[in-house]
Homo-oligomer: A and B are copies of this chain.
Amino acid sequence: MALFLSTFMNKLDKKGRVSVPASFRLVLSGQSFQGIVAFRSYKFPAIEGMGLDRMQRLSESVDQLDLFSETQEDLTTSIFADAQMLGFDGDGRIVLPQILLDHAKIAERVAFVGQGATFQIWNPEAFEAHQNEARKRVQEKQATLKLRGDHA
């Protein structure tokens, strides 16, 4: 399996640790850095999470752009400067830094939300509301997913 799927609820302990869901850890198990990279979403009160390999690919993409464009600067400052490398402890837990907790308004319970190639970390109540909104919008638009390479 190589996709982050489903939603998992775990708890923050007093030291600020949370278990990363076992299935998410499995997705990352092939990577050299055993842990996740996390940064504040600039669209939602949530945390964006992924493996280091994806960050490296992002960096390579950025290197191709104009070396001195403003957009590139803004993106690296919003993403790389904000990103935290959070390594697993021996039991598959990470420590979420305060700045991320504040941004996502996470206190006790933590929702790990699969997004395919990446995942998000939410306050459970906030995520539920967000998900309801999303489902409503999809329904209204009758949005359809076009499958790549599918000519049906």
Contacts and interface: CB of A to CB of B under 8 A. Distances in A.
Contacts of A6: 81-85
How many copies of this kind of chain does the complex include? 2
B74 A137 contact: yes
Residue of A4, A120, A137, A150 contacting most chain B CB atoms (<10 Å): A137
A115 B68 CA distance: 13
Interface stretch (A12-20, A58-66, A88-96): A58-66
B1 A52 contact: yes
A18 B44 CA distance: 35
Residue of A55, A62, A80, A120 contacting most chain B CB atoms (<10 Å): A80
Given A58-B147, A62-B145, A78 B3 contact: no
Interface string A103-129: 000000000011111001000000000
Contact of A131 (B32, B78, B146): B78
A64 B148 contact: yes
Interface of A: 1-7, 23, 32-33, 37, 42-43, 52, 54-64, 67-68, 70-71, 73-85, 113-117, 120, 130-131, 134-135, 137-139, 141, 143, 145-152
29 contacts: A1-B32, A1-B33, A1-B85, A2-B56, A3-B52, A3-B80, A5-B37, A5-B85, A6-B84, A6-B85, A7-B82, A42-B135, A43-B68, A54-B147, A62-B116, A62-B117, A63-B117, A64-B148, A71-B141, A71-B143, A74-B141, A74-B143, A75-B138, A76-B115, A77-B113, A77-B134, A81-B115, A81-B131, A83-B114
